[in-house]
Amino acid sequence: MTPQAQNRAIPRPTRYCRVLLGLAALGAVAVCLAALPPLVHAETGIENADEAWLRYPALDAQTAKTYDRLPPRVVLLGDSLLLKSAEQELMRGVAGMLGRTIEGEVSQGKMSLLSANSIVLGTLEKVRPLEAGLSPPEELRADGFWLKSARIHGFVCLVVSGATERGVLYGVFALLRKISLTENIAALDEVQQPYAPIRWVNQWDNLDGSIERGYGGRSIFFADGKVRNDLTRVSQYGRLLASVGINGCTVNNVNAQARVLEPSFIAELSRIADAFRPWGVQVSLSVDLGSPKLIGGLDTFDPLDPRVAAWWRNRVDEIYRQIPDFDGFVVKADSEGRLGPSTYGRTHAEAANVIARALKPHGGLIFYRAFVYNHHLDWRDLTNDRAKAAYDNFQPLDGAFDDNAIVQIKNGPIDFQVREPVSPLFAGLRRTNQAIELQITQEYTGQQRQLCFLVPMWKEVLDFDMHIESGETLVRNLVAGRVFHRPTGGFVGVSNVGLDANWLGSPLAMANLYGFGRLAWNPTLSAETIVDEWTRLSFGSDRAVVQTISALQLHSWSVYESYTGPLGAGTLTNILGNHYDPGPESSERNGWGQWHRADPSGIGMDRTIATGTGFIGQYPARVQKLYETLANCPDNLLLFFHHVPYTHVLHSGKTVIQHIYDSHYEGAEEAQNFVVRWRSLEGHIDESRYRDILARFEYQAQEAVLWRDTICRWIYELSHIRDAKGRVAETNR
């Protein structure tokens, strides 16, 4: 049966669902009225959506008073763009939250200006000479910052300093976050350092203004084949990114148009770089490896041809003439129809290095994506396995990439599914820089129309221990280059914000962008801390609001998983179409390799070393042991690694088939509870966001029922095993 036929056969459950929701809502309103606290919120609503978590609403008078000793004046040690952004942000935040005006002064090294209590903004180099012994407790790395309460020339000062000016800007955002979260800043002596140098977002924007897998409106960068005239949103985006420490943005689709390297386009690109520069966000481009031939007038793009090398050098030099702080390139090659080095029998390292060498003199980086696989695999051959592709292609090249090349690896071996094991390639590269690619835009996880807070998923990946040799080797340390002492590495998030007022299309989805940035800065933060911060910054500190929204967010991934992709089967979505609706049949009998191998006798991909595709053999020995046997394999990844009969009994004690039925019913019920829980916040937050989000939860509740019914019926018709609880009805088709 085609996915389309399934969707026709099962009408969207509007009436039934509305009745349920109505009943639930009545209950919730009753509870809510009983418990309603007085309305106090200085929060603005959806009309300020573009400010996201940087709204700076007024603190209540009593709390604001605790910041009375904050110096009323800011002294800037320099007058660069970054320092000015830092100063303006400080003034804006203090005015918004404390209702106070801060006066500004620029000191070009004239200490005489420091003649009153002040907030001092400057790099360490400028700050140190102000007062003997004024030095951070530890050495600052690039972009790290130091917040210090100090007496300078006898005046009460708050110093915000960094190894770089970007660090100073980050320090100001951190200081304002502390005030927003009502933390004590009376006696600060705090250093914060980024976990890794690479903290980038990738945007998959096309030059016509559309965004591949974007769910928040048209591109903020491009329209009609050109860079947009009005780049206000780019500056605003830069501010948001900087506030969480993101320092790079690749502005165009990984499925790149070669045209982005044409001189006329580079001139336009420089306007985007100008808009980002005050926020310390450096611009980069996705490029087509075939460019020397496609737009360069050569008859080849062979990476080993000296003419090709010269072409890249010239083009890169031209870019740096116009954009001196250009960050580099992202390359998707030999993947999903893109040109690649295989055309000439060359390796990915050879392809990466020809570009790396052009970038090297300018300090630029090349991110070479490990998302390389054959999408014409023979599905009848049970030994074929797309999951093996990244490791097979890149592990043998370990050590062959130049030092300014980074292999960019998706978190899992398939493609941003609702649950995957970590990619074994993180453990396979030891003499090569790597970065993890996480997907902020919810391609397979509800497309921002359904709630799915991804930080708990990312935490599981980043905290996963690869057990390389005997020691602890967490993925977060591997990608940050800390285990094998690589010169660079870090975190890339595919964000895909758009012109929609909410950036990602939904207010609650913004927690994923915030969370990505916070984890890229410090992956040891917990999901709970991140969501608590984000909720308070975005919605204020009302206890009911913070508790309810945090709980909804933290629960949302497992709920979404339970009705869309249980036991690691992969997302049972329509993979040939929108990656959103249920469509379990679409994964099978085609070359894309997102197979779940469901048949009348069982379900799951056998990826064992003993009888399957051997994928498990790509992991270090201790991880192999975890996945290879049914006895050890965790339930939530069982069907990723094993093909089992529907009657197989899980560690939980349930059979696989009963788990699938139950998880779909439980998930759909939870999604309906989201509506009830959200309704309990009526009157606690601004009306516009309350209504907007309510409508989204009501919609999600319906979609969850649709998913439940489609998947349960499909699996019943395949297996002919009844639901022990009698909920899954036989159909007469």
Q: Which residues bind ligand GCU (CB under 6 A)?
A: 212-213, 254-255, 332, 371, 415, 443
- CA-based Rg of the chain, rounded to a whole angstrom? 27
Which helix (H) or strand (E) covers residue 369, if one does?
strand 365-369
Give the span between the Cα atoms of 23 and 5, in whole angstroms. 32
> Minimum distance from CB of 440 to ligand GCU (Å)?
13
- Residue 48 phi, psi (nearest 5): -110, 25
Which residues are annotated as catalytic? 336, 415, 443
To the nearest whole angstrom, how small is the minimum distance from the Cβ of residue 591 to ligand GCU?
A: 13
- Decide whether 415 or 500 has the Cβ nearer to ligand GCU: 415
* Whole-number Å distance between alpha carbons of 355 and 328: 9
Question: What is the pairing mode between strands 145-152 and 189-192?
Answer: antiparallel
The distance of closest approach from Cβ of residue 258 to ligand GCU in the complex, given in angstroms and rounded to an integer, is: 16
Quote the least distance from Cβ 202 to ligand GCU, whole Å: 9
- Least CB distance from residue 410 to ligand GCU, whole Å? 7
Residue 690 phi, psi (nearest 5): -55, -50
- Sequence letter at residue 694: L
CB 194, CB 141: distance < 8 Å: yes
Between residues 308 and 331, which has the closer beta carbon with respect to ligand GCU?
331
Q: Report yes or no: 172 and 143 within 8 Å, Cβ to Cβ.
A: no
Cβ proximity to ligand GCU: between 443 and 703 the closer is 443
State the burial class of residue 682 (Cβ atoms within 10 Å of its Cβ: 0-12, 13-18, 19+): middle
CB of 198 to ligand GCU, least distance (A): 18
Do strands 103-107 and 73-77 pair parallel, antiparallel, or not at all (unpaired)?
parallel
User: Would you say 146 or 221 has its CB closer to ligand GCU?
Assistant: 221
- Both tokens assigned to 101: 């005006």
Secondary element (H or E) of residue 625: helix 621-628
Angle at CA of residue 306, ends 304 and 308, nearest 5°: 80
User: At CB < 8 A and 24+ separation, what contacts does 100-105 make?
Assistant: 100/70, 100/72, 101/72, 102/72, 102/73, 102/74, 103/72, 103/73, 103/74, 104/73, 104/74, 104/76, 105/73, 105/74, 105/75, 105/76
- What is the closest distance, in whole angstroms, from the C-beta atom of residue 237 to ligand GCU in the complex? 21
Judged by CB, which is closer to ligand GCU: 421, or 612? 421
CB 482 within 8 A of CB 470: no
Residue 367 and residue 394 in contact, taking contact as beta carbons nearer than 8 Å: no
Nearest residue (CB) to ligand GCU, 279 versus 426: 426
Closer by beta carbon to ligand GCU, 244 or else 254:
254
